[in-house]
Amino acid sequence: MDATLAFFSILGAIAVGMVSPGPSVLFVARLSAEAGARAGLAAALGMGLGGFLFAVLAMAGLTALLAQAPWAYLAFKIGGGAYLLYLGWRLWRGAQEPMVAVPESEPRSASTLRAFTLAFAVQMSNPKTAVVYASVFVALLPATVPLELAVALPAALFLLELGWYTLLALGFSRPHLRAAYGRAKRWIDRGAGSVMALLGLRLMADAALTR
């Protein structure tokens, strides 16, 4: 496949998977609605960095590694599932806590760093994202990867992930959406927590069945 065609085909395939609802979308939407745009943008940066690393790993042959070492994929599924289950429990437990807005005058370095770190962890703990990246790269990369494609593709995917989650962060941090979230926080958090926990349990169950 031509390098230019491969570049845009991979971007398109990743974009389709990226916008579908999942742990990353739920996390950034909820965080932005509760903590505001600054925390949401920090989370978007964490998601972008995760996408960049997945692209680098896929370029380096993640699919071949997982095929040759099934135990690595099994461990990845169990670890990712456990983390999503933990996040779901945290969301459910905190569902009844009132939403507290951070005053603009307060420094937010700690909260933005935490948002970035948690988002990066959510992105990297999702085996589905790793498999999508690896599968798309294997299917669409040319047999010989030109240097310019190897450099441009991870950078472009970083910007793609960053752009999508930035749009989510800015959208869900709007005052009317924040107000709506505040009114329905209890049910939204419990719903999001349940989805994350179920995804985590499903990953762990799949891992158990494939042993």
Residue 43 or residue 94, greater confidence: 43
pLDDT (mean) for 77-91: 72
Which residue range forms the structural domain that includes residue 142? 3-209
Domain count, the chain: 1
Which of 49-53, 110-114, 178-182, 188-192 has the highest mean predicted lDDT (pLDDT)?
49-53
Per-residue confidence (pLDDT) for residue 14, from 0 to 100: 82
Residue 163 or residue 181, greater confidence: 163
* Residue 99 burial (CB count, 10 A): 14
| High-pLDDT (> 70) share of the chain, % | 67
Q: Which pTM does this prediction carry?
A: 0.68
CB 119 within 8 A of CB 28: yes
